[in-house]
Amino acid sequence: MAQFQPVRGTHDILPDDYARFRHVVDTARQAAQLFGYREMATPIFEFTDVFARSMGETSDAVSKEMYSINDRGGENLALRPEYTAGICRAFISNGQQQNVPFKAFAWGPMFRYERPQKGRQRQFHQIDVEVIGAAEPQADVEVIALGAEILRRLGILDKCTLELNTLGDPESRVGYRDALVKYFSGYADKLSEDSRKRLEKNPLRILDSKDEGDRKLVADAPLIHDYLTPAARDFFKVLQDGLAASDVPFTVSPRLVRGLDYYTHTAFEFVTTHLGAQGAVIAGGRYDGLIEQLGGKPTPGIGWAGGIERLVLLSDPQPVAPRIVAIIPIGAAAEAEAVKLAGELRRADIAVELAYGGNVGKRFKRADKVGCHAAVVIGDDEIANGVVKLKDFKSGEEASVARAELLGKLKV
């Protein structure tokens, strides 16, 4: 019988690796809480139309990469390729319009059919931050500052650069759209097939093209900054001033765009050169038109997503391991006493490794293998005298400790 392997583009996260994975999630969660964000979750699958509306039916993520199925009830469902659409859907369907600004932190698996490579898998995981119901640029400042704080706490902010741009307001986009149509129409025969279609429907999407021929043309395309209204310029200035006041350095990147119409004002990415081709570790922007596009009342929003696998690759190899105590019983009476002691220590929030069997030597080897920092040895003599032997693995010291004083010793 053939040995089963993980499906291509997926991977197992074994305990040693999961410690790093959990460290990223816990660090992000703690930072988000300090900024006043509350954790939530949505189902990993939604009606396909949720993503088709939010990401564009002709986008690669929807037309080429999304895992969609028709279930037994005839419903067309899709595994989520990103988190924002699901959170916005939850905001609408759970009647959260009265609770704005709605500040959410979430994390979980996403799914896209892509060519697997370093930092890019078909099942991957993201942390996600959203603020719904705040139109002010100060919300943009806070969202970006939170991303920077998470990177700082992970010790990798110095490996990343914040690239920032404005997409303008809807009024700015009208003039910019006309300029793009005029420019790209002059090169229509050189555009890719996808971009020729975009030229008719949404020329801003051409700026997102990955086609090399398109990218050469994009390099000389008009810039949004030349078409900004005074209000859009003011918004972008307040954002930049706020980031400077928050001590978050940035580089204005005028070619950074989001192609869909509901994106406005802010677009940003934290990028790195330490992961090869997969340079973006956190990316986001303002999506003031998305809630309305999903059927809700016009409601502004801004957020970002960060790839957990990429953050793990970029972070230090191993977070600090938890302190674990091994209990090693010698004899039948000590076995029962060890179970009792393990319960007491765990209720006091002390991690305990209690081997299920084997001689003393094997139990000590097990304790060393799982990274225990100390061992509590119990035998008949220790039970009779109301003591235990406490061995510190780092120093090698061993001492008898009164049973009543053990908890205090381990808490130090």
Asked if 335 contacts 170 with a C-beta cutoff of 8 angstroms, the reply is: no
pLDDT tens for the chain, residues 1 to 412: 457 898 899 999 998 889 899 999 999 999 999 999 999 999 999 999 998 887 765 556 566 788 898 989 999 999 999 999 999 999 999 999 999 999 999 999 999 988 877 767 899 999 999 999 999 999 999 999 999 999 999 999 999 999 999 999 999 988 999 999 999 999 989 999 889 988 888 888 888 888 899 999 999 999 999 999 999 999 999 999 999 999 999 999 998 888 677 889 999 999 998 887 768 999 999 999 999 999 999 999 999 999 999 999 998 766 666 789 999 999 889 999 999 999 999 999 999 998 777 888 888 888 888 889 899 999 999 999 999 999 988 888 999 999 989 998 888 7
Pairing of strands 301-307, 280-286: antiparallel
Domain layout of the chain by residue ranges: 15-169+229-314, 324-411
Q: Is 310 annotated as a binding residue?
A: no
Q: What's the CATH class of domain 324-411?
A: alpha beta
Which residue in this structure is represented by tokens 């990429």? 310
Each residue of 41-94: pLDDT tens digit? 999 999 999 988 877 655 565 667 888 989 899 999 999 999 999 999 999 999
- For 268-325, write each residue's pLDDT tens digit: 999 998 887 768 999 999 999 999 999 999 999 999 999 999 999 998 766 666 789 9
Cα 277–chain centre separation: 19
| Residue 123 annotated in ligand binding | no
Question: What three-state secondary structure class fits 85?
Answer: helix
Query: Which contacts qualify for 393-396: CB closer than 8 Å, 24 or more apart?
Result: 393/367, 393/368
Does residue 126 have a known ligand-binding role? Answer: yes
DSSP 3-state of 358: coil
Q: Which strands, in side-by-side order, build the sheet including 160-166?
A: 38-39, 102-111, 123-132, 301-307, 280-286, 264-272, 160-166, 251-252
126 burial (CB, 10 Å; 0-12 / 13-18 / 19+) is buried
The token duo for 247 is 């001590």
Q: Which pLDDT score, from 0 to 100, does residue 1 have?
A: 46
Exposure of 365 by Cβ count < 10 A (0-12 exposed, 13-18 middle, 19+ buried)? Answer: exposed
> Is 80 a known ligand-binding residue?
no
Give dist(CA 181, CA 179) in Å, integer. Answer: 6
Chain-centroid distance, C-alpha 281? 9
The candidate with the shortest Cα–Cα distance to 389, out of 339, 330, 331, is: 330
Q: Tell me whether residue 39 is annotated as binding.
A: no
176 is in an annotated binding site: no
Percentages helix, strand, coil for the chain, rounded to the nearest 5? 45, 20, 35
| CA angle, 236 then 228 then 265, to 5° | 45
355, 366 contact by CB (below 8 A): yes
| Full-model pTM | 0.87
Please check if 183 is assigned to a binding site.
Answer: no
Task: Check for a shared fold between 15-169+229-314 and 324-411.
Answer: no
Cα angle value 236/98/78 (rounded, 5°):
80
Total Cβ atoms within 10 A of residue 109: 14
Alpha helices, DSSP H only, in 164-248?
170-185, 193-201, 212-218, 230-245
163 is an annotated ligand-binding site residue:
no
CATH of 15-169+229-314, one of 3.40.50.1950, 2.40.50.90, 3.30.930.10, 2.40.30.30: 3.30.930.10
Question: Residue 209's closest CA among 186, 234, 180, 231?
Answer: 180
* Residue 82 annotated as binding site: yes
